[in-house]
Structure 1
Amino acid sequence: MRTAEHYFEVPLDHSDAQGETITVFAREYVSAEHTEEAAAELPWLLYLQGGPGGRGNRFSGLGGWGKAAAKEFRILMLDQRGTGLSSPADRKTLPLRGSDRDQAQYLERFRADSIVADAEAIRRTLGAAPWTVYGQSFGGFCVLSYLSFAPEGVREALITGGLAPLAGPADRVYQATFRRVAARNAEYFGRYPQDRELVTRIARHLRETEEVLPDGSPLTVERFQMVGSYLGGNTRVDGLHHLLEDAFVSTPGGDRLSDAFLEQVRGLVSRAANPLYALLHESIYGQDEATDWAALRVLQDYPEFRPDAAAPLLTGEMVYPWYFDQDPALQPLRTVAQLLAEKNDWKPLYDAERLALNTVPVAAAVYSDDIYVDRDLSLETAAGVRGLRVWETDKFHHDGIADDGEAIFGRLLGMVRGVRS
């Protein structure tokens, strides 16, 4: 493959084109099967990454969906604002904005509506015709915002595991996903019954014994529960079993958690690489109302997920206030997070009337057992977008494109072009 790096200056606030600007980075990927002259004539495909807070993928080679897309597209991999090389926002850079309130007000402009406005500014700068847009997970949420506010920039749209509810409150999202995660726990422990007692043993051990991660932060029961992120995968779910089998070693002071286990857990529970995920996650569901730690509020209806439960279940995408007490990468941002949770005048992320009149070809993969983006809410949204074609499947989980991205991409592209459904 060949790559090219692009840096763009875009308004921080797109309603104030003459105001402050930020830098947005994107990397272009082109298959070496195309000559440079032929590649220059290829249409663009914009990829919108999951998250929020995740930088664009760094390809070391074209495989999976990227291999399929590169047959006929120039791929533009966007670092969404605040991530990667796009004016990164974290505990080290945000204090440059000033007070906690100044930092929170700055981050209010880092949601899907601003990401879409960035994309349109970039498209115009590149002189590109309306492009194909592919959104995975939160990237799919951004696609819905794109179709709401700038459909003229989209030739066709593909979405995998990313049909967001078009209306709030955030509570209904967590009511659905807690149920999905509980069912996935049951499925996992049915597959690995010995791990049910092991998870309970680890939780009991953490209540009785202080364990510290390699970064010096505590491993608590609630942080350990975050390893449930494995449950969102298809083949990746087996990685949870491999993690748990490393848990305990015998020491002169009795059984303790092994260094190998603690290092693996650190990589799963730290938000050092993507602090915006914790800061902005609930805001992706916020429209006209405060999210106010919705996941914590809904948790009260699901006591089996409480860290003080006798046999606590593992959790999914939920974000809680204690993240900002226990994660060193988030501790300086605790007040900023609280201010964002309290914000009660978020702008709409979608235009339901415009989506009901949509004319852009759209195809979406909906995963029946997705623990992050609920199947029922996804189908509700699909019904509100004119012409959106759904492929529902139980063969994949949320990260399906990591398992068979080439086939999934090809199927969706065929659907928007009327080849298959």
Structure 2
Amino acid sequence: MSFGAITLTEHTLTVPLVWPDLAGGDEADDRTIDIFARVVTRSGGEGLPYLVFLQGGPGSEDPRPGPDQAAWIDAALEDHRVVLLDQRGTGRSTPVGDGFLEGRSAEEVAEHLTHLRADSIVRDAEAVREHLGAKTWRVLGQSFGGFTLLHYLSYFADSVERAYFTGGLSAVGRHCDDVYRLCYDRMRELSLAYYRRFPEDRDRMRRVVELAERGEIVLPDGEVLSASRARNLGHLLGSDNGWARLHWLLELDPGSNAFRHDLANAMAYGGRNPLYYVFHESSYADGCVTDWSAQRVEPDDFREDVTLLTGEHVREEWCDTVPAFQPWAEVTRILAKHEWPKLYDAEALKASGAIGAAAVYVNDAYVPLEFSRETGALLPGVKQWITSEYEHSGLRTSGRRVVERLFALADGRALR
């Protein structure tokens, strides 16, 4: 398939649901799933090295190429063939959606989902690399994709010629409680900075929360908005232009159709990608039980001041109040009690010899700067670009700038 100056080739591989080295037992597991990858090649670029993109999430498929593709893909295609890998459970890689619940118990579904984490995704990527005949390749990890890249470097570093992170240097060897505490600190800073810019929006936000507490805001899908869901609008402050979207939303009459529809569209967690909610906290679980971590460590001032906004802080009550999550309630609660294995090996990261670059965002609402710096110290060959110019969405919102800066840093050259 061709789009103008680019050619797309599609690859579907059948792989084990449970990779043998992750099985943790002697009993063979013959379940399989399909993994889909699309290789994007520019005209004349057939011999360029492969760059595989690991998407953020969890639970999101890779971007689709074409005339309106992301600018970072255009930049990457100058020196690479870009591999867009749908992570297991997403896109065309044996997707997991509402239909997957039919005919299965909550325990069966939860068990299946335990095999959709970064450790399994990395082994899928290795299968794709071998299928393409590449001895090594380059890896670009955005957010959760960066977490996945850290696992890659912990166990298969010899396969990664260059490692590029954007907002994806996760905490290594720390409990997810520690991560969420720092995320609350960042959200406090972002909330207060937003209200300094738009002081009238603080009263508007308080009004929205009051209406939600009385059950007076009903979204188009029938969800009776809860106060915690209203406050989760703070996730918008984690992206470069989200503040504007929040401001234009809050200026609307909360009783209007426009407000209800725009609010529904602004929700971080929704029905299109239920996995993002269902096992979100597992992405921060480096060998621990999450047990509704973000909810448990909520600071006192967030409990007292309803205008302080939250980011990627999920809550158990949404299992019951959000129509899209109600079918997943029992599954989500099972996973909250699951003991997740470790994802990273600090000593292996130190010994990996990894070469690359990482964009570390000072004001990152989702991946705390403090732990990113700590993890970056384990990878001295991965040069850090610490910037307040962009938020967590920098790869997407910067056009070509972030990815070009990473390529240049890794190669030790000036920007073009």
* TM-score in terms of structure 1 length: 0.91
User: Secondary structure at 1:47's aligned position in 2?
Assistant: strand
- In 2, the alpha carbon distance for the partners of 1:322 and 1:202 equals 18
In structure 1, the gaps of 5 or more residues are: 249-256
Q: Does 1:27 align with 2:43?
A: no
Q: Does 1:213 align with 2:241?
A: no
Match of 2:350 among 339, 356, 359: 356
Counterpart position of 1:157: 163
* Residues 288, 341 of structure 2: 8 Å contact kept: no
Residue type of the partner of 2:31? E
Please report how far the alpha carbon of residue 63 of structure 1 lies from its aligned counterpart in structure 2 after TM superposition.
Answer: 4.2
Residue type of the partner of 1:303? D
Match of 1:266 among 264, 267, 277: 264
Q: Does 1:93 align with 2:88?
A: no
User: Kindly, what percent of the aligned residue pairs are identical?
Assistant: 39
Counterpart position of 1:283: 282
Residue type of the partner of 1:317? E
- In 1, the alpha carbon distance for the partners of 2:194 and 2:54 equals 30
Counterpart position of 1:319: 314
Match of 1:339 among 330, 334, 349: 334
- In 2, the alpha carbon distance for the partners of 1:298 and 1:229 equals 18
Counterpart position of 1:13: 18
Please report how far the alpha carbon of residue 6 of structure 1 lies from its aligned counterpart in structure 2 after TM superposition.
Answer: 2.3
- In 2, the alpha carbon distance for the partners of 1:305 and 1:84 equals 36
Q: Deviations over 1:21-74 (max 9, x none)?
A: 10112222223xx2xxx3321211100111111111123334421111011111
* Residues 95, 103 of structure 1: 8 Å contact kept: no
Please report how far the alpha carbon of residue 104 of structure 1 lies from its aligned counterpart in structure 2 after TM superposition.
Answer: 1.2
- In 1, the alpha carbon distance for the partners of 2:50 and 2:318 equals 38
Match of 2:385 among 360, 380, 391: 391
- In 1, the alpha carbon distance for the partners of 2:142 and 2:215 equals 40
Counterpart position of 2:78: 71
* Residues 354, 379 of structure 2: 8 Å contact kept: no
Please report how far the alpha carbon of residue 206 of structure 1 lies from its aligned counterpart in structure 2 after TM superposition.
Answer: 2.2
Give 1:66-145 correspondences, 5 Å limit.
Answer: 66-96=73-103, 98-145=104-151
Please report how far the alpha carbon of residue 94 of structure 1 lies from its aligned counterpart in structure 2 after TM superposition.
Answer: 3.3
User: Secondary structure at 1:8's aligned position in 2?
Assistant: strand
* Residues 357, 386 of structure 1: 8 Å contact kept: no
Q: Deviations over 1:215-234 (max 9, x none)?
A: 11211211111211210012
Residue type of the partner of 1:397? E
Q: Deviations over 1:234-292 (max 9, x none)?
A: 233211111112233xxxxxxxx211111122123352111111122111122332111
Residue type of the partner of 2:330? T
Residue type of the partner of 2:397? D
* Pairwise CA RMSD: 1.8
* Residues 91, 330 of structure 1: 8 Å contact kept: no
* Residues 281, 293 of structure 2: 8 Å contact kept: yes
**Cα separation, partners in 2 of 1:247 and 1:9, compared to 1, 3 Å:** farther
**Cα separation, partners in 2 of 1:195 and 1:3, compared to 1, 3 Å:** same
Q: Deviations over 1:173-221 (max 9, x none)?
A: 0110000001000111111111111101111122235221111121121
User: Secondary structure at 1:27's aligned position in 2?
Assistant: strand
User: Secondary structure at 1:115's aligned position in 2?
Assistant: helix
Match of 2:208 among 202, 206, 209: 202
Match of 1:371 among 351, 365, 370: 365
* Residues 358, 386 of structure 1: 8 Å contact kept: no
Q: Does 1:222 align with 2:228?
A: yes
* Residues 353, 379 of structure 2: 8 Å contact kept: no
- In 2, the alpha carbon distance for the partners of 1:18 and 1:416 equals 40
- In 1, the alpha carbon distance for the partners of 2:313 and 2:348 equals 30
* TM-score in terms of structure 2 length: 0.92
Q: Does 1:177 align with 2:171?
A: no
Counterpart position of 1:402: 396
User: Secondary structure at 1:22's aligned position in 2?
Assistant: strand
TM superposition outliers: structure 1 runs of 4+ over 4 Å: none
Please report how far the alpha carbon of residue 134 of structure 1 lies from its aligned counterpart in structure 2 after TM superposition.
Answer: 0.2
Please report how far the alpha carbon of residue 293 of structure 1 lies from its aligned counterpart in structure 2 after TM superposition.
Answer: 0.7
Counterpart position of 1:4: 9
Counterpart position of 1:418: 412
* Residues 62, 87 of structure 2: 8 Å contact kept: yes
* Residues 227, 314 of structure 1: 8 Å contact kept: yes
Counterpart position of 2:3: none
- In 1, the alpha carbon distance for the partners of 2:286 and 2:70 equals 37
Please report how far the alpha carbon of residue 420 of structure 1 lies from its aligned counterpart in structure 2 after TM superposition.
Answer: 5.0
Greater mean deviation of Cα atoms: 21-30 or 103-112:
21-30
- In 1, the alpha carbon distance for the partners of 2:119 and 2:360 equals 23
The aligned length equals 402
